[in-house]
Amino acid sequence: MKPTYYLSIILFLAFWSCESRDESLKTNWKYQEGKHFGDFLHFENENIKIQGDTIFINSIPFAIIEEFDRTFFPGSENKLQLKTIETGEFGFYTDKGK
């Protein structure tokens, strides 16, 4: 098959699966290891908000999103690394879907 056919399929899939960073973060996050912020985090909760890279709980800055790895392959999970503002400890979470 022609390379343009493959390229058009790849571009279609890339645009179809594009989602903003903020939308990708609005999911259920399950604790994996490190600093424990809770068994599950959900950023659409009225008490937990994200502004930029800072996480606020009850309007108080609590943690910073240090790293956010998005994957687009079926069966793989997005990963979230958080760092506490107070102590600098890291906590790791995996995406469990919306």
Per the listing, tokens 């999970």 go with 77
The sign one gets for the Cα dihedral 78, 75, 23, 44 is negative
Residues whose CB falls within 8 Å of the CB of residue 27, separated by 6 or more in sequence, listed in order = 42, 43, 78, 95, 96, 97, 98
pLDDT in tens, the chain (98 residues): 577 877 777 666 655 556 666 777 778 899 999 999 889 888 777 788 888 899 898 999 999 999 988 876 666 788 999 999 999 999 999 988 65
pLDDT at residue 39 in the model: 92
Side-chain half-sphere exposure of 12, counting CA atoms within 13 A:
6
